[in-house]
A and B are shown apart, each in its own frame.
Chain A
Amino acid sequence: MEYLSLFVKSIFVDNMIFAYFLGMCSFLAVSKNVKTAAGLGVAVIFVLLVTLPINYLLNRFVLSPGALQWLSPSLADVDLSFLSFIIFIAVIAAIVQIVEMVVEKYSPSLYSSLGIFLPLIAVNCAILGGSLFMQQKDFVNLGEATVYALGSGIGWFLAIVSLAAIREKMAYSNVPKALKGLGITFITVGLMGIAFMTFMGISL
């Protein structure tokens, strides 16, 4: 039950895009059509799902103050938390690099439509944000961290797919010339964000 509420909460209430406004750059740039958007969404889910548990274990057993105690009691005072940023980022970058190589090999068309935004998943704030929130939330076990990763990833996926769907429809509407494309997308996301705020009051 706790897992379920954490899962639902991380999709809707703590939505990475609409509650925290993280991972906006690729969200805005790669939402022109549903297919590409879904591809990037899946990549984000995957990267979150892999990096967050790894970072959880690193944080639990290496980085947090006194975490090295399991190696030897004399290490109880060691505090490596100043390294957490760089380690998290390195793990994320490594996973993204692997994803990039896999996508390039098996789906060249997706690779070319994602362009620079594939390597930029590494600096997609939603991913690092996920790891930092994990550090913040003090999950008690690996299961919670994984559920949280899955939920946040799916939340991001849903957000980008729904925006892409709106943009596909919007191609038929009569938007002022200069506002077409990027401009109206910004405004749409703003309005979607306001709508999503209704979830904020829900406590699970």
Chain B
Amino acid sequence: MNAKLKETILNPIFKGNPITVLVLGICSSLAVTVTMKGALVMALSVIVVCGISSLILSLLRNTIPGRVRIIVQLVVVAMMVILVDQILKSFEATYAIDKQLSVYIGLIITNCIVMGRIEAFALGNKPWPSFLDGVANGAGYGMILLIVAFFRELLGSGTLFGVDILNRLGYVPNNLVILPPFALILIGCIVWVQRSIQKDLQEK
């Protein structure tokens, strides 16, 4: 693997993280980080959707007319998400999984990361790097999601993945942590930590 591809993969995880650096995908990171489970499901879905839609649109990139590119991008992304939803819904074994996922469908389609990466990367690059870029951005996003969810579930419900951790020690769950504003404050703190380590990101 050459250096450029490696950079494509590693950059979004930390240095160019979609949430803390590019400010993409904030809405969903507030909505799904109340529990670890929700965050994990959402993270995996975004990795898959972001990778595959980057791939498809990169393949189509030379044929898309400039003036309607937004429509084409969104239609392709939405179609894919709905197709997966429909297929999962029709098998007995996957129906229960789909019910978990269906909550996130709207959030996945409107997740700015998917479209942001298509717009900024996939439309100008070959399919393979675009796919990797999509997956890596999904992963960088998922990482922040899990960090935020860890604190919110632990402090807000006293559990992790639904397993009681703090409550048995006499901890009283803090309801403020469950509310969306706290997630914002938490992400603010993550940005703080990241920029203390990585000084070149600091703003004047």
For the complex, give the distance between the alpha carbons of A27 and B109 in Å. 18
- The stretch that binds A, out of B19-27, B34-42, B53-61, B124-132, is B19-27
Cβ–Cβ contact B74 & A177, under 8 A? no
- The stretch that binds A, out of B153-161, B163-171, B188-196, is B188-196
For the complex, give the distance between the alpha carbons of A187 and B182 in Å. 9
A103 within 8 A of B: no
Q: Mark B175-193, 1 if CB is under 8 A from A, else 0.
A: 0000111111101110111
B97 within 8 A of A: no
A-B contact count (CB 8 A): 143
Cβ–Cβ contact A25 & B112, under 8 A? yes
Cβ–Cβ contact A85 & B106, under 8 A? yes
Majority-rule SS of B interface residues: helix
Cβ–Cβ contact A128 & B70, under 8 A? no
Cβ–Cβ contact B192 & A183, under 8 A? yes
Give the size category of B's interface with A.
35 or more
With A89-B74, A93-B75, A193-B180 in contact, is A28–B26 under 8 Å at CB? yes
Within 8 A of B (CB), among A24-52: 24-29
Which chain A residues border B67 with CB–CB below 8 Å?
97, 101
Q: Mark A123-143, 1 if CB is under 8 A from B, else 0.
A: 111001100100000000000
With A97-B68, A186-B188 in contact, is A25–B24 under 8 Å at CB? yes
Which chain A residues border B107 with CB–CB below 8 Å?
125
Within 8 A of B (CB), among A78-92: 82, 85-86, 89-90, 92
Looking at the assembled complex, report how far the CB atom of A123 sits from the nearest CB atom of chain B, in whole angstroms. 5
Cβ–Cβ contact B202 & A180, under 8 A? yes
Q: How many residues of A contact B (CB 8 A)?
A: 49
Looking at the assembled complex, report how far the CB atom of A114 sits from the nearest CB atom of chain B, in whole angstroms. 13
Cβ–Cβ contact B23 & A94, under 8 A? no
For the complex, give the distance between the alpha carbons of A82 and B199 in Å. 48
8 Å CB contact of A176 from B31, B105, B192: B192
Looking at the assembled complex, report how far the CB atom of B112 sits from the nearest CB atom of chain A, in whole angstroms. 5
Cβ–Cβ contact A185 & B112, under 8 A? no
Q: Mark A98-129, 1 if CB is under 8 A from B, else 0.
A: 00110000000000000010011011110011
For the complex, give the distance between the alpha carbons of A22 and B111 in Å. 11
Cβ–Cβ contact B188 & A190, under 8 A? yes
Cβ–Cβ contact A179 & B188, under 8 A? yes
With A86-B78, A178-B195, A185-B188 in contact, is A116–B120 under 8 Å at CB? yes
A53 within 8 A of B: no
For the complex, give the distance between the alpha carbons of A182 and B195 in Å. 10
B204 within 8 A of A: yes
**Shortest beta-carbon contacts, A-B, top 4:** A186-B188, A181-B203, A190-B184, A24-B26
Given A123-B109, A124-B110, 15 other A-B residues pairs in contact with their CB atoms under 8 A: A21-B27, A25-B25, A85-B106, A93-B71, A119-B70, A120-B115, A120-B116, A122-B74, A123-B111, A128-B106, A129-B110, A179-B191, A182-B20, A185-B188, A186-B185
